[in-house]
Amino acid sequence: MKTNPIKFGTDGWRGVIAEDFTFDNVRFCAQGVADYLKQKGLADRGVQIGYDHRFASEDFAVAAAEVIAGNGIKVALSSKAIPTPLISFGVITKKAGGGIVITASHNPAKWNGFKFREENGTSVSSETAVEIEKYIDRALRTKTVKAVPLPHAVEQKLVEYLDLAPEYLNSVSKLIELDKIRHAGLKIIVDSMYGVGSGYFKTLLNGGTSQITEINSERNPAFPGINPEPIAVNLKSLASLVVEQKANVGLATDGDADRIGIIDEKGRFLTQLQVFAILALYLLEVRGERGALVKTLTSTSMIDRLGEIYRVPVFETPVGFKYVAPVMLDRDALIGGEESGGYGFRGHIPERDSIPAGLYLLDFMVRTGKTPSQLLDYLYSKAGEHYYDRIDLHFPHEKRPDIIARIRDNSPRNIEGVKVVKIDTRDGFKFILADNSWLLIRFSGTEPIMRIYTETNTQERVQRLLRFGRDLAGV
């Protein structure tokens, strides 16, 4: 029996429902957050609480609200399931001390989670995560939780129900000229993967000649037949439907709608790296905006090339949006993105949000008259052809030091005859080649999984470089 099942990371804590993710443990998390907010002097600013479509998420959200209220902190509890970005938006616009979201994002159906957003709407830093976990651990050890039943908390005006969607939709509609998309005659298929992204594109774009068709838009906590992660393997139905219905594009949002996946008009999945670079190109060229570009080290070198072309700075961070967001804020960055398909934008929130990402792609199509595949070709005409893939490998946890030593002691000076010009060891081993190709081997922080990534100039070479990485690691 584990003494403390709650490991609170920068994106909160996730657990298997009814095994680790229980009402008691959610209450301990909420108590830890309440203690943290009080210690930081943020309690008087209140807390925004939202939840997703997973099993009993609304009930877990109520449990969290009762504890926050029991500590004398006012709660704005969402009146319905909402995307995680709406809580970030609510924290910022309502000047709250923080936000809680009950969601396990793209995890399989048996999981749920507890995310916390800081006062600036971002994921917590590593330091804050450690601090909150200490408070959670104290609550667990002492079995100390203060709570007020929801009806009493509402009566005492410690909890109020709030629908953030109208204000959020109004704000997003100001980022872009929606009428051009509404009246472009596009055929758009949206797959919300049974998550909370359903209805948002339709609400924003209805009323013109463009047609928005939704699939998997109902609530189904079992996520039948799919994992709610918008990657190629999970979007086969969407891809088939785009081809069958001769749609212009397919948009997919993950379980909590902070990440997006794109299917082009030919039914092909655009990789997350391609989409990131396309969105950056749209902002720089079509909108004529200027500002820093922020990418993680697993993301595309096309961003670096666009930075050179348009003379804007590019900043590279370790993996995780917790590293991207602070740089976005500090540098007033135009866009920040990561390999998982999460993109954040200046003038909105310093966090991932699938809704403006999808709208910006549609606007790029409308303003240029190009299909998604043609946008990719246009990007390649600017930045050169880039192809990417990644493999995840399980290994015995006790072998990790040996694998690290093997890679370190046998680091190549060249790969396939191309010189290794730099080795970045901030997060794993990233080998950067003279032709701007790269190969990265890094480890999960929580699981015995090794991930190998590469980006290079041909699809065939991608597979060769991945095999080289696997051989180098000996897994």
Cβ within 8 Å of residue 214, ≥6 positions away: 189, 190, 191, 192, 198, 199, 202
For the four alpha carbons of 289, 295, 299 and 302, in that order, the dihedral sign comes to: positive
What is the helix (H) or strand (E) element at residue 361, kind and residue range? helix 354-368
Q: What is the tens place of the pLDDT at every residue in 419-454?
A: 999 999 989 999 999 999 999 999 876 678 899 999
Q: Give me the residue spans of the domains in the chain.
A: 13-164, 175-383, 387-473
Task: Select 13-164's CATH number: 2.60.40.10, 3.40.120.10, 3.40.309.10, 3.40.640.10.
Answer: 3.40.120.10
Structure-block tokens of residue 116: 């916390």
CATH architecture of structural domain 175-383: 3-Layer(aba) Sandwich (3.40)
Q: What is the tens place of the pLDDT at every residue in 150-198?
A: 999 999 999 999 999 999 999 999 999 999 999 999 999 999 999 999 9
Helix-then-strand count for the chain, H and E? 16, 21
Q: Where are the beta strands (DSSP E) in 226-354?
A: 249-253, 260-263, 269-270, 293-296, 314-317, 335-337, 343-345
Q: How far apart are CA 268 and CA 214, in angstroms?
A: 18
Q: What is the tens place of the pLDDT at every residue in 323-337?
A: 999 999 999 999 999
CA angle 174/175/178 to nearest 5° reads 75
Q: What is the pLDDT of residue 2?
A: 47
For the four alpha carbons of 139, 145, 146 and 151, in that order, the dihedral sign comes to: positive
Structure-block tokens of residue 110: 């048996």
Answer yes or no: are the C-beta atoms of 103 and 70 closer than 8 Å: no
Structure-block tokens of residue 233: 């393997």
Same CATH topology for 13-164 and 175-383: the answer is yes
Q: What is the largest CA-CA distance in the chain?
A: 72
Where on the phi/psi map is residue 431: left (φ > 0), alpha (ψ -120 to 50), or beta? beta
DSSP string, 376-444: HHHHHHHH---EEEEEEEE--GGGHHHHHHHHHHT--SEETTEEEEEEE-TTSEEEEETTS-EEEEEE-
3-state DSSP call for residue 222?
coil
Residue 395: CB atoms within 10 A of its CB come to: 16
Q: Beta partners for 146?
A: none
Residue tagged 């009493």 (tokens): 152
Q: What is the pLDDT of residue 6?
A: 83
Q: How far apart are CA 475 and CA 467, in angstroms?
A: 10
Residue tagged 């905006």 (tokens): 289
What CATH topology corresponds to 387-473? TATA-Binding Protein (3.30.310)
How far, CA to CA in Å, does 209 sit from each of 188, 217, 426, 464?
11, 22, 49, 46
- In tens digits, what is the pLDDT along the chain, a chain of 475 residues? 445 678 877 678 999 999 999 999 999 999 999 999 999 999 999 999 999 999 999 999 999 999 999 999 999 999 999 999 999 999 999 999 999 999 999 999 999 999 999 999 999 988 999 999 999 999 999 999 999 999 999 999 999 999 999 999 999 999 999 999 999 999 999 999 999 999 999 999 999 999 999 999 999 999 998 999 999 999 999 999 999 999 999 999 999 999 999 999 999 999 999 999 999 999 999 999 999 999 999 999 999 999 999 999 999 998 889 999 999 999 999 999 999 899 999 999 999 999 999 999 999 999 999 999 999 999 999 999 999 999 999 988 889 999 999 999 999 999 999 999 999 998 999 999 999 999 999 987 667 889 999 999 999 999 999 999 999 999 8
Burial class (CB in 10 A: 0-12, 13-18, 19+), 207: exposed
Q: How far apart are CA 296 and CA 385, in angstroms?
A: 20
